[in-house]
């Protein structure tokens, strides 16, 4: 089920909120928790019912190992082994098995059959979440929770399929706090602000920009330098609005249920280095990689050279986390090398020049990240610097800006001002990109919510954004990070 869908907005969410708070109002706290688990599984199973068996088996396996460890039936070493085996084993099979076999076939000229496994939704997110808990169990940083508390922690639907990656001590203590079981008007309003801003980012900006991105990558052989620049700028913006929009909605939904979920984006495109950008982009993944990979490898405690190697390993694994393809591996390696360079520099480029340099670097790194193959990535890079102007940009604009809401203003320019259709479409495409650039230069949703929530103009602005987003839901698309 998508956050940006009619069934979620007008059926699932009202039923979930009323049921959860209604049961708590009656003092049926454990029943309310079970209800929350049930609706979360409904949310997850809506995409594919067969996914339910996988997540239930994954939760059961982790819970049973934790229980045996709590009762002294297994040692720390065995607990850690089974935790890694259960979680990384499942992740490897569903996400990387075909990639591994295809590379074996290529290297050794074998002919093993691929399984063509359908990637379960959000498996990377709920796997990392459970893995973090099991490692904390072994390290003595987490108690053994009851099955209801643990299941609610893993399945809570706002963060289930695309994050943020929530730690056990961020969620379960809130679940146990009875004071949070009462509806809080201020928290619900704050949640609405975050949710509507995230929804508008996704529906009004990301989905519109996606048309340009998909057209460009589907027709990359036809792109000239100017249209390649537009396509990559569109993806640079789409990726941010899509994922930060989802995170805003997840945090907003959590607030509606009186849960505080961790912030996942902190205006990353205002960074002065790629190193800084990765402390402000997908912050919960960065935290996971730092806590459970970088620090166990030695962090910065074993000398400069080892520190740089550890950074490279973290970004290589981050690339693999995003997908089972050499494009993600190359993206992770290149990103790691740039971050290493940032660590070797004495200081960042100051001011707006540093921000522009960082964003351009990130944009170029997105070429392999978005491409279907390394060959496609190379061709797009060649297009960027060698193809000049062929007029393809006008065709791109016509395909992108063919939206019902633009019909009247486009007709005015076409007929009233005598501007051609291609040129008119290009004007609106440039305007869309300009709006996107303006928005990424502003402060993030948390700042907007905290600073302007009491302003009298906030409710009507939210109503306009929500209405416009709902009207645009006919063009609904999945979130980019659902693929990861």
The CA-atom distances, in angstroms, between 398 and each of 81, 133, 136 are 55, 50, 53
Dihedral Cα 68, 74, 77, 82, nearest 10 deg: -50
- Note whether 380 and 371 are within 8 A (CB): yes
3-state secondary structure 332-344: HHHHHHHHHHHHH
Element (H, E) at 438: helix 421-440
**Residues 416, 29: Cα–Cα separation, whole Å:** 64
What is residue 372's DSSP assignment? S
**Residues 232, 212: Cα–Cα separation, whole Å:** 9
**Residues 241, 235: Cα–Cα separation, whole Å:** 10
User: What tokens does 199 get?
Assistant: 């929804």
CA 364 from centre of chain? 19
- Note whether 199 and 294 are within 8 A (CB): no
Whether cis (ω within 30° of 0) applies to the bond prior to 336 is no
The SS3 assignment for 292 reads: helix
**Residues 74, 213: Cα–Cα separation, whole Å:** 51
Q: Which residues participate in catalysis according to the annotation?
A: 322
Nearest Cα to Cα of residue 167 among 295, 290, 351: 290
**Residues 433, 209: Cα–Cα separation, whole Å:** 8
List strand residue ranges (DSSP E) for 72-142, in order. Answer: none
- Note whether 339 and 311 are within 8 A (CB): yes
Nearest Cα to Cα of residue 85 among 58, 50, 53: 58
**Residues 257, 18: Cα–Cα separation, whole Å:** 10
Burial 90-119 (b: 16+ CB within 10 A, else e): bbeebbbebbeeeeeeeeeeeeeeeeeeee
- Note whether 135 and 76 are within 8 A (CB): no
């Amino acid at each position: 089920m998508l956050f940006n869908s009619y069934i979620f907005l007008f059926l699932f969410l009202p039923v979930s909120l009323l049921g959860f708070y209604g049961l708590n109002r009656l003092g049926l706290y454990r029943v309310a928790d079970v209800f929350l688990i049930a609706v979360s599984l409904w949310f997850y199973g809506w995409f594919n019912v067969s996914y339910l068996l996988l997540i239930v088996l994954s939760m059961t396996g982790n819970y049973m190992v934790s229980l045996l460890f709590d009762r002294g039936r297994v040692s720390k070493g065995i607990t850690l082994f089974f935790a890694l085996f259960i979680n990384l084993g499942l992740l490897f099979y569903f996400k990387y098995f075909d990639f591994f076999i295809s590379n074996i076939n290529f290297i050794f000229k074998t002919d093993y059959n691929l399984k063509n496994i359908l990637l379960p939704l959000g498996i990377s997110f709920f796997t990392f979440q459970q893995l973090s808990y099991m490692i904390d169990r072994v390290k003595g940083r987490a108690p053994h929770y009851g099955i209801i508390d643990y299941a609610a922690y893993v399945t809570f639907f706002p963060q289930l399929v695309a994050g943020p990656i929530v730690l056990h001590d961020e969620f379960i203590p809130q679940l146990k706090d009875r004071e949070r079981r009462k509806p809080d008007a201020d928290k619900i309003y704050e949640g609405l602000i975050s949710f509507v801003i995230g929804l508008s980012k996704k529906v009004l900006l990301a989905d519109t920009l996606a048309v340009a991105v998909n057209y460009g990558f589907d027709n990359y052989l036809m792109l000239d330098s100017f249209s390649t620049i537009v396509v990559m700028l569109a993806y640079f913006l789409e990726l941010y609005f899509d994922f930060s929009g989802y995170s805003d909605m997840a945090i907003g939904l959590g607030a509606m249920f009186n849960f505080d979920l961790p912030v996942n984006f902190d205006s990353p495109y205002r960074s002065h280095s790629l190193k800084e950008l990765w402390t402000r982009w997908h912050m919960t993944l960065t935290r996971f990689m730092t806590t459970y990979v970088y620090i166990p490898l030695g962090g910065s405690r074993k000398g400069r050279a080892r520190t740089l190697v550890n950074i490279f390993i973290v970004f290589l694994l981050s690339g693999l986390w995003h997908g089972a393809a050499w494009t993600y591996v190359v993206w992770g390696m290149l990103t790691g090398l740039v971050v290493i360079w940032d660590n070797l520099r004495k200081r960042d480029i100051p001011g707006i020049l540093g921000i522009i340099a960082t964003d351009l670097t990130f944009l170029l790194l997105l070429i392999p990240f978005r491409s279907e193959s390394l060959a496609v990535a190379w061709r797009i890079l060649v297009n960027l610097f060698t193809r000049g102007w062929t007029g393809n940009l006008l065709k791109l604009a016509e395909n992108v800006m063919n939206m019902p809401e633009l019909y009247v203003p486009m007709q005015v320019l076409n007929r009233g001002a005598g501007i051609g259709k291609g040129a008119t479409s290009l004007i609106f495409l440039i305007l869309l990109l300009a709006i996107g650039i303006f928005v990424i230069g502003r402060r993030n949703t948390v700042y907007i919510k905290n600073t302007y929530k009491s302003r009298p103009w906030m409710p009507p602005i939210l109503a306009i954004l929500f209405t416009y987003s709902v009207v645009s839901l006919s063009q609904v698309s999945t979130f980019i990070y659902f693929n990861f």
